[in-house]
């Protein structure tokens, strides 16, 4: 249902209001149908009022046959309750076409009687007798009197369509668009007979009009209960219900008139926006769920509004230059202490309402509909919101990656596939780091183990001096020292394990009584909690024993370590005496020779465990390589899935774009990431890497990585297909291992080839890179207007657009899309708010120090003040518009 305007908004949004446009007074049924309803006038009028309030009927058209005597009685009941009454009457033309005529709400019965007097009714005493004037003559008089008429029950016995079909020759009436604007049908359009449907759909050449006739449901209401019949009322879009807005709706019936209840919005939308402090201080806005437009002179605050929405929703610009401009605008216009408050409805959060506020220099705060601070961030509420500042569409038109990202929202898997690819990419980076670390450790171990033959040879030299028997104890003592250190390491590792086990005991707080309260199977959960608690207690008990055991073992080994140290110290002292008694060898004192031999053996014993660790490292590397192969395979499958989904989405979008735009998919054609990575290699510049862009579709990362690992000859083999320059082959073959792994992780994303139909009629498609700047932006805007559950906000999209394309293409697409998505444009182009039929237009002005946008400067084009100011700002005023019209000859 339509929400009633709040006091703040004071009718600032065009909404659909329910209108019953053929309500008859209390005496109609008795007089014309001979049936008593058993109500006096007061009771009848009261029941009409009760039904209107219950059904949220806001506008009532009173139309008795050729009489207005009962208008005031019904009007006095309805108007005090905010129900607008359009007084009028029903008459028949000389062709017997029945016409319901309605007039402004302030029209008196005296005026109505004077109007009736102008219509040449053949028998004023018999109100059902037709006039002797034709339908078109009567229509002209009604319009001259400031009224409006529609063809009543067009398919009935005295209806315009029935009379036409009966051979009455009234097609000239139907085709007069100046005087024939609307007609009543008895229900939904699809229920009409095929011959009538062809006419109202403008498909019958005998009744062809330049524009469709407006269709209404306005069944005769002869008893109050008839108001509940869906066929008795239509929905008409007006900012504030009134006759002038009512007339404006028939100037754009496709946008403003609905036969049935307008569908509920099931997409995200911004509702209320308020500024506290700064340049926009005090401005309060209630946005429409459909199309919103901000207009005003330069410097009045349009761009500031867009950037403030960026700020409160924490959606920073993509480009660095745009970000600098954003920061400057926020700092200059919001200022220290300024705050923005926004209310949103989030489809992602199942249609719940949230408030988002942000003070200058602080993060955004999200509160739920109960006023509680939420852990959600703005991005959680509107994850796919799109905000574009000035010239950002042009940047988008020149960035293939961003173009492909626009289409991601049409993938069946949505963001899930992107998230999965991101997870795999992070796992590959982690795997790469572990591989490189393990490889370095293996290299270090191998370097140490490689020294063993040389050290062993040196030992043989000492043995040749006859020292082996004298110093036989030295290698044994060194071995004992290594083993003693290993005992300490093992005990330390056990202690760390006990601490880890204690830190990971079951925590049953999540199964508290409060958490289980009201759950249907809480008793089962209680038993589970008891089991976990029992496990925790048992482990705690056993941990205590294990700690005691560890402490006792540590004490025992400490004593044994001390004993061993004492023994080793004694043996070392004895060895020192042996060293002292050694004879001189090759001019070196025996003591020095003995110590050198001891140090050599100590080094050998230190290195010897590295042989075993090198084997373990081989096993780890094998495992990491196996893991990497699996990750790369999953990565490849996910990319293939993304390509398949993009290909399917592209086909569907081509059908939706209906000849305006043509999309094609080029798999793996986004190669900027590969080029940027290789540009880091010394000796590889733009020219030497031109082959990346110039090579055909068979360029793949796996093929390139394999060739680089296989060496120069393998890379040379690719030259004929890819055109790699000989000077680049050597550099590629000698790339660092870490860089090769990094290349292996590159995701060459798919490129969307975009072609725009530049013909006004027929088809003439040109690729994006061959279009003018305006045409490029037009093509991108076509994509942006496609379905998205979150709002699209743009600042002056027309800056880089061809004006003809805005009027012919963009506005048409926008009118269809706005029923399924919220839009907000800051614009200088009249086509967007006027022909797009914006439900909310906000008009900025400025007093020099602060922006101004009171409630009176907010509304839709059906509000006279808004219409005049739109014409003044966007068209240069009424006189300028009229002069241009005369010069164009329109």
Task: Give the DSSP H or E segment for 420.
Answer: helix 415-449
872 or 166: which carries more pLDDT confidence?
872
Rounded to two decimals, the pTM is 0.77
Give the residue carrying structure tokens 């725009």.
756
Provide mean pLDDT across the span 661-672.
89
Band of pLDDT at residue 468, cut at 50, 70 and 90: low
Report percent pLDDT > 90 for the chain: 47
- CB atoms under 10 Å from CB of 339, counted, come to 18
Domains, the chain, with CATH or none: 16-258 (3.20.20.140), 269-391+770-888 (3.40.50.300), 422-631 (no CATH)
Residue 274 has φ and ψ, to the nearest 5°, of: -140, 145
pLDDT tens-place string over residues 386-415? 998 877 888 877 887 777 777 777 777 666
Band of pLDDT at residue 135, cut at 50, 70 and 90: very high
- Biggest CA–CA distance in the chain, Å, is 153
Band of pLDDT at residue 125, cut at 50, 70 and 90: low
Ramachandran sector of residue 373 (left: φ over 0; alpha: ψ -120 to 50; beta: rest): beta
Q: What is the DSSP letter of 16?
A: E
* pLDDT at res. 469: 63
CB 340 within 8 A of CB 334: yes
The alpha carbon of residue 831 and the mean position of all alpha carbons in its chain are separated, in whole angstroms, by: 25
* pLDDT at res. 1: 43
Burial pattern 792-828, b for ≥16 Cβ within 10 A else e, equals bbbbbbbbbbbeebbeebbbebbbebbeebbbbbbbe
Residue 98 has φ and ψ, to the nearest 5°, of: -85, 135
Provide mean pLDDT across the span 782-787.
83
834 or 482: which carries more pLDDT confidence?
834
Strand order from edge to edge, sheet including 352-359: 284-286, 269-276, 339-346, 352-359, 365-367
pLDDT tens-place string over residues 162-215? 777 655 578 889 999 999 999 999 999 999 989 889 999 999 888 899 988 999
pLDDT tens-place string over residues 822-861? 999 999 888 888 889 999 999 999 988 899 999 999 999 9
Burial pattern 634-657, b for ≥16 Cβ within 10 A else e, equals bbeebbebbeebbeebbeebeeeb
* pLDDT at res. 416: 80
Band of pLDDT at residue 8, cut at 50, 70 and 90: very low
Determine the angle formed by the axes of helices 701-710 and 726-733, rounding to 10 degrees.
Answer: 80
Give, in order, the Cα–Cα distances in Å from 752 to each of 267, 640, 670.
27, 15, 9
Least confident of 15-19, 321-325, 701-705: 321-325
Provide mean pLDDT across the span 782-794.
88
User: Does residue 151 surpass a pLDDT of 70?
Assistant: yes
Ramachandran sector of residue 361 (left: φ over 0; alpha: ψ -120 to 50; beta: rest): left
Band of pLDDT at residue 471, cut at 50, 70 and 90: low
User: Does residue 131 surpass a pLDDT of 70?
Assistant: yes
Provide mean pLDDT across the span 488-502.
92
User: Does residue 59 surpass a pLDDT of 60?
Assistant: yes
Rounded to the nearest 5 degrees, what angle is found at the Cα of 108, between the Cα atoms of 106 and 111?
120
Hey, what are 542's tokens? 């056993």
Provide mean pLDDT across the span 142-155.
94
Q: What is the DSSP letter of 663?
A: E
pLDDT tens-place string over residues 416-459? 888 899 999 999 999 999 999 988 887 777 777 777 777 777 77
Provide mean pLDDT across the span 62-76.
88
What's the first-to-final CA gap in the chain, in angstroms? 41
* CA neighbor of 827 nearest in space, from 815, 817, 836: 836
User: Does residue 625 surpass a pLDDT of 90?
Assistant: yes
pLDDT tens-place string over residues 308-347? 999 999 998 877 778 888 888 898 888 778 899 999 999 9
* pLDDT at res. 143: 96
756 or 337: which carries more pLDDT confidence?
756
175/599 Cα distance (integer angstroms): 113
User: What stretches of 360-470 adopt beta strand conformation (E)?
Assistant: 365-367, 386-388
Give the residue carrying structure tokens 């055909």.
696
The alpha carbon of residue 854 and the mean position of all alpha carbons in its chain are separated, in whole angstroms, by: 30
CB 320 within 8 A of CB 355: no
User: Does residue 887 surpass a pLDDT of 50?
Assistant: no
Report percent pLDDT > 70 for the chain: 90
Hey, what are 788's tokens? 């998205």
813/810 Cα distance (integer angstroms): 5
Provide mean pLDDT across the span 674-693.
88
539/535 Cα distance (integer angstroms): 6
479 or 702: which carries more pLDDT confidence?
702
CA dihedral sign of residues 568, 569, 574, 576 = positive
pLDDT tens-place string over residues 210-229? 988 999 999 989 889 999 99
Least confident of 27-31, 127-131, 868-872: 27-31
User: Does residue 235 surpass a pLDDT of 50?
Assistant: yes
User: Does residue 244 surpass a pLDDT of 60?
Assistant: yes
* pLDDT at res. 886: 59
1/533 Cα distance (integer angstroms): 53
Q: How high is the mean pLDDT of the chain?
A: 86
Rounded to the nearest 5 degrees, what angle is found at the Cα of 182, between the Cα atoms of 145 and 218?
100
* pLDDT at res. 725: 81
CB 842 within 8 A of CB 295: yes
* pLDDT at res. 813: 84
Band of pLDDT at residue 549, cut at 50, 70 and 90: very high
168/158 Cα distance (integer angstroms): 11
Which positions ≥6 away from 667 have C-beta within 8 Å? 643, 697, 750
Q: What is the DSSP letter of 189?
A: G
487 or 471: which carries more pLDDT confidence?
487
User: Does residue 360 surpass a pLDDT of 80?
Assistant: yes
* pLDDT at res. 584: 67
Residue 839 has φ and ψ, to the nearest 5°, of: -75, -25
């Amino acid at each position: 249902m339509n929400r009633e305007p709040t006091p703040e908004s004071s009718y600032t949004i065009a909404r659909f209001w329910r209108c019953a446009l053929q309500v008859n007074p209390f005496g109609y049924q008795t007089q014309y149908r001979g049936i008593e309803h058993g109500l006096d006038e007061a009771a009848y009028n009261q029941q009409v009022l009760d039904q209107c309030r219950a059904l949220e009927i806001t506008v009532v058209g009173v139309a008795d046959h050729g009489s207005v005597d009962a208008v005031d009685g019904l009007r006095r009941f309805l108007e005090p309750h905010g129900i607008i009454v359009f007084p009028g009457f029903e008459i028949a033309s000389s062709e017997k076409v029945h016409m319901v005529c309605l007039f402004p709400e302030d029209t008196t019965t005296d005026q109505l009687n004077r109007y009736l007097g102008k219509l040449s009714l053949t028998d004023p005493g018999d109100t059902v007798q037709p006039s002797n004037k034709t339908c078109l003559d009567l229509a002209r008089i009604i319009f001259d009197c400031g009224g409006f008429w529609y063809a009543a029950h067009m398919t009935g016995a005295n209806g315009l369509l029935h009379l036409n079909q009966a051979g009455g020759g009234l097609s000239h009436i139907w085709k007069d668009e100046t005087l024939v604007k609307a007609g009543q049908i008895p229900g939904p359009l699809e229920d009409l007979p095929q011959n009538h449907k062809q006419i109202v759909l403008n498909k019958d050449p005998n009744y062809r009009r330049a524009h469709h006739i407006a269709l209404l449901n306005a069944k005769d209401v002869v008893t109050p209960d008839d108001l509940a019949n869906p066929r008795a009322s239509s929905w008409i879009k007006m900012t504030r219900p009134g006759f002038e807005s009512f007339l404006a709706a028939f100037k754009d019936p496709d946008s403003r008139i609905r036969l049935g209840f307008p569908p509920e919005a099931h997409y995200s939308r911004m509702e209320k926006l308020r500024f506290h402090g700064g340049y926009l201080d005090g401005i309060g806005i209630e946005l429409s769920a459909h199309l919103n437009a901000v207009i005003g002179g330069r410097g009045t605050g349009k761009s500031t509004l867009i950037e403030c929405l960026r700020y409160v929703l924490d959606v920073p610009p993509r480009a660095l230059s745009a970000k600098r401009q954003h920061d400057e605008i926020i700092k200059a216009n919001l200022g220290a202490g300024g705050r923005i408050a926004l209310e949103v409805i989030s489809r992602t959060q199942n249609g719940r309402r949230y408030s988002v506020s942000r003070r200058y220099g602080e993060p955004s705060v999200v509160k739920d509909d109960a006023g509680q601070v939420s852990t959600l961030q703005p991005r959680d509420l509107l994850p796919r919101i799109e905000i574009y500042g000035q010239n950002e569409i042009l940047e988008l038109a020149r960035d293939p990656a961003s173009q492909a990202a626009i289409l991601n929202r049409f993938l069946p898997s949505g963001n899930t596939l992107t998230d999965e690819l991101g997870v795999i990419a992070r796992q590959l980076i982690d795997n790469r780091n572990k591989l490189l670390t393990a490889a370095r450790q293996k290299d270090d171990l191998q370097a140490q183990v490689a020294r063993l033959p040389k050290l062993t040879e040196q030992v043989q030299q000492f043995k040749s001096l006859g020292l082996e028997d004298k110093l036989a104890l030295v290698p044994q003592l060194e071995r004992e020292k290594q083993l003693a250190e290993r005992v300490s390491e093992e005990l330390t590792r056990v202690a760390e394990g006990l601490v880890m086990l204690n830190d990971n005991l079951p925590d049953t707080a999540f199964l508290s009584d409060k958490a289980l309260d009201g759950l249907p199977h809480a008793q089962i959960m209680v038993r589970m909690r008891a089991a976990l608690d029992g496990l925790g207690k048992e482990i705690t008990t056993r941990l205590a024993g294990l700690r005691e055991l560890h402490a006792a073992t540590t004490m025992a080994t400490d004593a044994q370590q001390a004993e061993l140290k004492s023994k080793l110290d004694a043996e070392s002292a004895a060895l020192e005496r042996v060293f002292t008694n050694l004879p001189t060898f090759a001019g070196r004192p025996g003591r020095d020779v003995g110590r050198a031999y001891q140090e050599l053996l100590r080094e050998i014993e230190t290195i010897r465990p590295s042989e075993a660790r090198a084997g373990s490292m081989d096993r780890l590397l094998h495992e990491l390589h196996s893991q990497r192969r699996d990750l790369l395979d999953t990565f490849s499958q996910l990319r293939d899935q993304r390509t398949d989904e993009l290909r399917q989405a592209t086909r569907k979008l081509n059908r939706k774009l209906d000849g305006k735009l043509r999309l094609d998919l080029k798999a793996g054609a986004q190669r900027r990431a590969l080029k940027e990575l290789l540009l880091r290699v010394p000796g590889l510049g733009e020219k030497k890497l031109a082959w990346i862009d110039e090579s055909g579709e068979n360029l793949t990362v796996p093929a390139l990585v394999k060739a680089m690992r296989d060496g120069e000859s393998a890379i040379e083999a690719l030259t004929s297909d890819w055109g790699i320059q000989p000077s680049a082959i050597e550099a590629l073959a000698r790339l660092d291992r870490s860089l090769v792994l990094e290349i292996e992780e590159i995701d060459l994303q798919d490129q969307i080839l975009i072609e725009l139909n530049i013909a006004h009629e027929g088809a003439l498609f040109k690729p994006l890179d061959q279009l003018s700047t305006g045409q490029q932006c037009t093509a991108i805007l076509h994509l942006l207007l496609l379905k998205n559950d979150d709002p699209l906000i743009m600042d002056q999209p027309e800056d880089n657009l061809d004006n003809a394309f805005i009027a012919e293409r963009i506005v048409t697409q926008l009118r269809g899309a706005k029923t399924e998505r919220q839009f907000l444009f800051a614009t200088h182009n009249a086509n967007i708010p006027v022909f797009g039929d914006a439900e909310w237009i906000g008009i900025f002005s400025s007093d020099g120090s602060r922006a101004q946008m009171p409630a009176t400067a907010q509304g839709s084009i059906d509000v006279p003040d808004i219409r005049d100011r739109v014409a003044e700002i966007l068209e240069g005023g009424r006189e300028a518009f009229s002069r241009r019209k005369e010069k164009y000859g329109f």
